[in-house]
Structures are given as C-alpha cells and as structure tokens.
Amino acid sequence: MALELSSGKTEVRLEKPWLNLPGTLGFSDEARTALDLGQLGALVTNPVSLAPRRPANPPRSLRYPGGLLLHTGHPNPGLRRVVRQHAPRWVSLAVPILVCLLALDERELGRLVEELEAVPQASGLVLMLPPAVADAPARWIQLARELERPVVTLLPLGTPLRAALASAEAGAAAILLGPPRGALECDDRWVEGRLYGPALYPLALQAARELAPILPVPLIVSGGIATPAHARACLQAGAAAVGLDFILWKNPQEFLADEAWA
C-alpha cells in the first residue's frame, strides 16, 4: 500500500505506509547502525534549523506510567552542516528523505527553503508549524512550497480539525500528526515537552477515525504505535500512513520486519 505525496510539480512515493517521526532517527547516519532504513517508507530527518541549536540544558526525559515526556531542544548542527555531513549518503538510501524544517519565523523558513534548493536529495519537507501559526499556516506553507517539493505539515496529535483543514487548504501534501505536548512537575518546576508512549495509541486511532475521512489530503497519524497490529488498525481507520516514534528506540528491526506487517 504505497502513499504518493505531491507538490503539484513533483511527487514522492512512499512504498511502505510508515515513516519515522522527526526526532527519532537523527539525520540518517546515526540510525544506520541500528536498523535497515530501507524498511521505512520514508526517512524523516531530525528537525533542522538554519543556525546550529544546542540541546536543552539539561535535556529532560521524564518517564511516567504509559509514556515519556521528552524535551531535548532539538539540537542540530544547522542546515548547512547537516547537508554537508549527511546528504551525500542520502542518495544511496533506498527511501525518500523528508527534511524536517524547524524555523523560528518566516524569514528563517524562507532561507532554509532557499538553501535546500541546492539539495536534490531532499525529496520533500516536513514543516514544523509553531502553535501560533497552526490555525493560519498559509504563509508558512506557501514559503515551503516554493521548493516545489511535497510539504507535509507536522501538527501535534489532538490538533483540532480546523487547523488540519487550514494546512490542507494552504497546500500541504499531507498532514502528519506528531507527539502532543504535555507537562510534568520535576524538582518543584514544570517541565514541558513532547509526549511519547503506549498511552497515546487510542488518541492516534481516534484521530485517524475522525480526521481522515474529512481531510482532503492524506493523514499520517502517530502516537503510541507499539505493534504492527496498532499500525494496521490506524491504516484501517483511515490513516494513509503511520508515524513511528518510541518503538524505533526499542525494537526497530523486529518491528519493521516485513513479515510482521503481513
């Protein structure tokens, strides 16, 4: 069951309906030591910013029953260095590369897109939409579409229908529902971060059931998918593909083995 993402001018074909979420597999070289990337439908890079980003100090990974709250600050060496270090090997991978863009504002997004024009190995983009932009993403998506490659918008699981529709109407090739944000108390302070883990699975399944029939573009859901059966259920519920996160840190090879999905 392949998935085709289109920009109107170029298309990306995901031979398998599953991909990793940004923030799970690095920029490709890291993950090659742990799993066969050819088992993915597409490889989504970790979020890339224009300038290098340092990690949160300290990063927080707070485990709780049913899941994990993670705050890393999305460390990355900046787009130019990511491209220099990793892009030459992207061509040899058997999967499309979707570069995840982390921009602070429209100006940065525009520059990221400009720089990616010289990187043909990037088959498409995953665009992280800041919360303040999610309801009115037209300008951001327009900027990203100037690359003329498919743009997938990344919105948190639990996003209201109107925001997902706004992305679709603005020209997104697909909507990817990624980890929702949450907060936990730690050392008398609030720690905010992305949520992962099995407890999210019913939310992912419900999102597939509710949103997929309405959205005019493919919906990729993620959250708590821990078994191939979970993934199959999301696909049967209407998702065009599933996003994998914490399971790739736990048992990637066994999970992605083709026979597990049969």
Partner 1 sequence: MRPVRRIPTEVHSLGLDAFGEPVLRLRTPPAWQIDPGQAVLADLGDSCGLLSPLFPCEVAPGLLSLPIEADSTFRPGMPLSLAAPIGTGFRPPPASRRWLLASSEAVPRRLLPLLKQGIERGVEIVFAGEPPAHGLPLSIEVVSRLDQGLAWSDYLALDSSRRALPGMLVSLAGAGVVAAALAAEILVASDILCGWGGCGACAVYDARGWFLACVEGPVRPLSSLLERDGRRGA
Which residues form the interface with partner 1 (CB under 8 A)? Answer: 23-26, 30-31, 33-34, 46, 54-59, 61, 63-68, 70, 72-75, 196-198, 224, 226, 246-251, 253
Q: Cα 135 vs. chain centroid, distance in angstroms?
A: 19
DSSP 3-state of 191 = strand
Q: By C-beta, is 1 or 34 nearer to partner 1? A: 34
Q: d(Cα 141, Cα 62) in Å, to the nearest integer?
A: 33
| Residue 201 Cβ vs partner 1, minimum distance, rounded to whole Å | 10
CB 182 within 8 A of CB 209: no
In the bound state with partner 1, the residue whose beta carbon lies nearer, of 124 and 197, is: 197
**What ranges make up the beta strands (E) of 197-235?**
219-222
Least distance to partner 1 from the beta carbon of 54, Å?
Answer: 6
The residues near 180 (Cβ < 8 Å, ≥ 6 apart) are: 156, 157, 158, 194, 195, 200, 203, 223
Nearer to partner 1, 145 or 194 (CB): 194
What count of Cα atoms within 13 Å lies in the side-chain half-sphere of residue 253?
A: 6
Q: Quote the least distance from Cβ 39 to partner 1, whole Å.
A: 15
State the minimum distance, in angstroms, from the CB of residue 156 to partner 1.
18
What SS3 state is found at 37?
Answer: helix
Q: Tell me the C-alpha to C-alpha distance, in Å, between residue 199 and each of 35, 225, 232.
A: 25, 9, 17
Q: Considering beta carbons, is residue 150 or 197 the nearer one to partner 1?
A: 197
Task: Using the minimum distance from each CB to partner 1, give the nearer residue, 87 or 164.
Answer: 87
Tell me how far, at minimum, the Cβ of 227 lies from partner 1, in Å: 11
For residues 36 and 20, the answer to whether their CB atoms sit within 8 Å is: no
User: Which residue in this structure is represented by tokens 């951001």?
Assistant: 140
Nearest distance from C-beta of residue 20 to partner 1, angstroms: 9
The residue among 54 and 162 lying less far from partner 1, judged by its C-beta, is 54
